[in-house]
Amino acid sequence: MNEFDWGAFIEPILISIKITIVASIIVFILAIIVSRHMSRAKFRCKLILDTFFMIPLVLPPTVIGFILLFAFGKKGFLGQLSEIVFGQSLVFTWWAGVIAAIVVAFPLVYQTMKAGFDSIDSDLEAVARSLGATEWQVFRYVALPLNKRMLVVAFTLGFARSLGEFGATLMLAGNIPGRTQTVATAIYVAIDADRTLLALAWVAILIIFSFIIMYFVRQPAKS
């Protein structure tokens, strides 16, 4: 069957956008805090911690999904915690999709931001401190403006990575139509069900989104 169903077409797109926006904002905030600290702090085992943050970038998404499912399952610590706090498990909810997107997108956003913070001349920050600026003021008025370009790039790349997430999302959030089914998982199901036209439409949407995002990222910085 290849009849086009507009309702079935729009629903996963809206869910994907909702998950991606929430995940991107959370990742952006977390990555700013962590990357700034890792850029300037000096302590033992820093390289080990930095490597730990990057692990999701090279692990297969199914492995990440398994780890998250183990952690957020009924027997996992985070799963039991979510039962206490929210009164229910987060597994197979759209929040599970947010969690999966956060984990897979964080390394890319973190590394991009950290590269930007590392490139800032520490003497400029030292001058600001010598003039009486607090650490927050140095961060707010020196580090952030100088790293603006990389922050935008990091957010954009994180958004794109979250939007295209499949493996970890499928394992933790499942593929429930109208609740957790994203565009990526919907394409997989549509192909399996021989709904080729619907799958092609979603593929086209993702390609267009990806092209726009990458074109934006590759724009030269304005002087």
Q: Which two tokens stand for residue 150?
A: 């990389």
DSSP per-residue string spanning 110-133: HHHHHHHHHTS-HHHHHHHHHTT-
Residue indicated by tokens 């169903």: 5
Dump pLDDT digits (tens) for 122-164. Answer: 899 999 999 999 999 999 999 999 999 999 999 999 999 999 8
Band (1; pLDDT cuts 50, 70, 90): very low
Burial 163-187 (b: 16+ CB within 10 A, else e): bbbbbbbbbbbbbeeeebbbbbbbb
**Residue whose tokens read 């003021």:** 137
Give residue 88's pLDDT.
85
Instruction: Give residues with Cβ within 8 angstroms of 161, minimum separation 6.
Output: 101, 104, 105, 108
CB 35 within 8 A of CB 114: yes
In the chain, domain spans: 6-217
Whether pLDDT at 223 is above 70: no
Q: Is the pLDDT of residue 222 over 70?
A: no
**Confidence (pLDDT) at 106:** 97
**What percent of the chain shows pLDDT beyond 90?**
72
**pLDDT on residue 41:** 87
Location of structure tokens 């507009």:
6
For residue range 3-43, list pLDDT tens digits in order.
667 778 899 999 999 999 999 999 999 999 999 999 988 88
Q: Count CB-CB contacts under 10 A for residue 79.
A: 18
pLDDT value of residue 147: 92
Confidence at residue 87, expressed as pLDDT on a 0 to 100 scale: 84
pLDDT on residue 220: 73
3-state secondary structure of 215: helix
pLDDT of 2 above 80: no
pTM of the predicted structure, to 2 decimals: 0.91
Does domain 6-217 fall under CATH 1.10.3720.10? My reply is yes
Mean model confidence pLDDT for the chain: 91
pLDDT tens digit sequence for 40-71? 888 888 999 999 999 999 999 999 999 999 99
Chain-centre distance of CA 60, in angstroms? 16
49 neighbors 131 (Cβ within 8 angstroms): no
Using the predicted structure, report yes or no on whether residue 198 has a pLDDT greater than 70.
yes
CA distance 140 to 8: 45
Closest CA to 97 of 187, 169, 165: 169
